[in-house]
Amino acid sequence: MEMRFENINGVLVAHVQCYLDHFGAENFKYVLTERMKPGEKIILDLEKLVNIDSFGLDALLSVAQKALDNDSEIILARVSPDMQIVLDITKVYRVFKIYPTIEEAVASCQKDGEK
């Protein structure tokens, strides 16, 4: 599993480049929860996510719950059409804000911070 982090205008962006399946799900959860700080918003750039299965969906939901417990938030960006179908069928889309671009996701975080 490969995940590259960058800070864009004060928002942590995680570029996910992997198969989010039974092989990579635990490492994905570990890496994200270790990087998570209280009150932080993390954008997951899923453009290069190759595959997701039930283990990957569980990892996403687990990280979202950890974020909620930590007064943080996980936001999804650049979700592929195939991934969007999976999120729609499983209703997982209800848990996350989803944006078509990283720029829109970052802008939403900055607007939320101004309130």
Residue 92 has phi, psi (to 5 degrees) of -65, -25
CA distance 46 to 40: 19
Where in the chain does DSSP place strands (E)? 2-8, 11-17, 19-20, 41-45, 51-52, 73-77, 97-99
Amino acid 36: pLDDT: 94
Amino acid 102: pLDDT: 98
Q: Which residues contact 7 (CB under 8 A, 6 or more apart)?
A: 13
Domain ranges of the chain: 2-110
Amino acid 2: pLDDT: 82
How many other CB atoms are there within 10 angstroms of residue 101's CB atom? 12
Amino acid 113: pLDDT: 61
User: How high is the mean pLDDT in each 10-residue block of the chain (115 residues)?
Assistant: 90 92 92 94 94 94 96 96 93 95 95 65
Amino acid 111: pLDDT: 82
Amino acid 62: pLDDT: 96
Amino acid 114: pLDDT: 59
Q: Strands 11-17 and 41-45: what pairing?
A: parallel
CA distance 52 to 57: 7
Amino acid 4: pLDDT: 94
pTM metric for this prediction = 0.92
Domain 2-110 has CATH 3.30.750.24: yes
